[in-house]
Chains A and B, each alone.
Chain A
Amino acid sequence: MVRYLILALLPFLALFLQSTFFATYTLGGAVPDLVLIFVTFYALMNSAGKGAVYGFFCGLLEDLFTGRFVGMNAISKALVAYLVGRYQVNVFKENIIVGVGTVAVATLLNSIILFAVSLGMSEIFHVDSGVLTTVIYQIIYNSVLSVPLYLWYYNSVKSGWLRYNGER
């Protein structure tokens, strides 16, 4: 029960921090995507299916918070989590480089999917090199933040609040 409560609270807290603290302290104008980081970690520790469902609801929360183009983040985060979940069976999760590297790739994938979905839905975007710069900065920001977050998340899954079977 505690595990589910924490899993529900993480994206809620992440959005709060993104819209307040991290929106002020940006890196090259880019805000980190903490929601995506937690979705990536969840998919990495679980299966593709579970990850995709978790990613979908986390993305939907972000969309409802933003109030525009609802469903865009839900789709992108579900697809990213699905892909991460498919690849996680072949990796050595104890290695922090795996966690950080997966977040970096997930951030790039998420941006590509968001961009593709926006174009597909005829959303108006003035596209220029600024978009690419923002994505690069976000990859760096997410990767840096994922170092302490992965350490906490991994340990929590192995022996803490987020442990798989039963309550603490």
Chain B
Amino acid sequence: MLRLFKNWYFWLLVLLLVGALFLMSHTATHRENLSSIEKIIRETYTPMQRGVSTFKTRTGSWSGVFSDKGDLQREINELQKENQRLALENQFLREYRQEVDRLRILIGFEESNQDRLELLPARVIARSPGNWYRYLVIDRGLKDGLRKGMPVIHPSGLVGRVENVSNSSAQVSLLTDRETAVGVIVEETRDTSGIVEGLGNSRELRMINIPYYSQVKKGNRIVTSGLSISYPQGIYIGKVTSVIREPNGLLLTATVQPAVNFDRLEEVLVVTAFNREEFASVSEATEED
């Protein structure tokens, strides 16, 4: 034991561990900015990660050339059918949109929230190298106007939000990250609020704090509530797959299957601006109704 205390490696290790604890206590809470050394490391990796992403995109398109012609024809036919269906749906939605606009004018609302979203497309260049956190690295950063906290979406639903930003890249915390929590409501009933949190895997989310009297059931669609300042209202999150009653009997917990395939994300949209005041006023008005 005494020999251990005479070993200078032992004291160096003790010093390093104390230093690490000090660092941890200063970085455990949410920070506004990355330190200079973190930015340098991120900037060193970004060009290499961007190169891999570009390579994958190009080889992906080349592999398409060698795909079976029959498969491609089948895919084209399916896409044409899907296109026709969506075109038809779009016609109905346009009708609804005009009706909604007229009603909004009648009851004094401004134009639709979704029209106020400013979106910036970004490419996914890397992912979390470990299993404790779930995040993506995108090829947009401070120079593109990105800031911490901006929501990130995909045409299929909510992805997460910007956690930290360096000059030319940003880290996006996924909805599946164990530290993520989002205020949500059930789209069909509009009366059930709760919190969706990540479980660390990309196939499942958990919705908690649902009142016991809620009518939430399997198949319900979950969307962002817009009550927090972090996310716009009405962004699709996923579908309820099961509901259980908590042991205390006062709350329900639901399992939600996310709409976004987090393992296959290649491009995302960063919401660089949305009118929060308007969202708040809409929410308040809805509650009063």
The interface of chain A, by Cβ under 8 A from chain B, is: 15-16, 18-24, 26, 29-31, 33, 35, 47-50, 52-53, 56, 60-75, 78, 82, 114, 117-118, 121-126, 128, 130-131, 134-135, 138
Q: Is B62 an interface residue (CB 8 A)?
A: no
How far is A56 from B125 in the complex, measured between Cα atoms in Å? 27
Write out the residue numbers on chain B whose beta carbons fall within 8 Å of the beta carbon of A118: 132
Which stretch from B18-26, B103-111, B115-123, B274-282 is at the chain A interface?
B18-26
The count of chain B contact residues (Cβ–Cβ below 8 Å) is 50
Interchain CB contact under 8 A, A82 and B178 = no
Write out the residue numbers on chain B whose beta carbons fall within 8 Å of the beta carbon of A78: 13, 16-17, 20
| Shortest Cβ-Cβ A-B pairs, 10 listed | A49-B9, A23-B127, A18-B129, A71-B20, A71-B24, A71-B23, A19-B126, A70-B27, A19-B129, A20-B52
Interchain CB contact under 8 A, B129 and A66 = yes
In this complex, the member of B53, B133, B163, B200 whose beta carbon has the largest number of chain A beta carbons within 10 angstroms is B200
- Say yes or no: A19-B45 contact (C-beta < 8 A), given A53-B9, A56-B13, A70-B24: yes
Which stretch from B36-44, B227-235, B238-246 is at the chain A interface?
B36-44
Interchain CB contact under 8 A, B45 and A16 = yes
Interchain CB contact under 8 A, A75 and B131 = no
How far is A60 from B23 in the complex, measured between Cα atoms in Å? 10
Q: Which of A19, A33, A69, A135 contacts B27 (CB 8 A)?
A: A69
Interchain CB contact under 8 A, B20 and A60 = yes
Write out the residue numbers on chain B whose beta carbons fall within 8 Å of the beta carbon of A117: 24
- Say yes or no: A67-B129 contact (C-beta < 8 A), given A29-B202, A52-B13: no
Q: Which of B9, B24, B129, B171 contacts A72 (CB 8 A)?
A: B24
- Say yes or no: A68-B27 contact (C-beta < 8 A), given A20-B49, A24-B127: yes
Interchain CB contact under 8 A, A124 and B178 = yes
How far is A79 from B16 in the complex, measured between Cα atoms in Å? 11
Write out the residue numbers on chain A whose beta carbons fall within 8 Å of the beta carbon of B7: 49
Closest to A21 in B: B52
Closest to A125 in B: B178
How far is A74 from B20 in the complex, measured between Cα atoms in Å? 7
Interchain CB contact under 8 A, A49 and B201 = no
- Say yes or no: A123-B49 contact (C-beta < 8 A), given A49-B12, A68-B163: no
How far is A75 from B24 in the complex, measured between Cα atoms in Å? 10
Write out the residue numbers on chain A whose beta carbons fall within 8 Å of the beta carbon of B127: 19-20, 23-24, 31
Closest to A18 in B: B129
A155 to chain B, nearest CB (A): 27
How far is A115 from B16 in the complex, measured between Cα atoms in Å? 20
Q: Is B48 an interface residue (CB 8 A)?
A: yes
Interchain CB contact under 8 A, B178 and A66 = no
- Say yes or no: A53-B27 contact (C-beta < 8 A), given A124-B179, A126-B206: no
- Say yes or no: A66-B13 contact (C-beta < 8 A), given A61-B41, A123-B28: no
Q: Which of B13, B200, B202 contacts A82 (CB 8 A)?
A: B13
Write out the residue numbers on chain A whose beta carbons fall within 8 Å of the beta carbon of B263: 24, 26
Within 8 A of A (CB), among B111-168: 125-133, 137, 163-164
How far is A122 from B28 in the complex, measured between Cα atoms in Å? 9
Q: Is B273 an interface residue (CB 8 A)?
A: no
Q: Which of B12, B49, B129 contacts A31 (CB 8 A)?
A: B129
A62 to chain B, nearest CB (A): 7
Q: Which of B20, B28, B197, B200 contacts A134 (CB 8 A)?
A: B200
Interchain CB contact under 8 A, B16 and A56 = yes
Closest to B164 in A: A67
Name 7 extra pairs, CB < 8 A, besides A16-B48, A65-B45: A19-B128, A62-B129, A66-B133, A121-B25, A121-B28, A130-B201, A134-B201
Interchain CB contact under 8 A, B133 and A126 = no
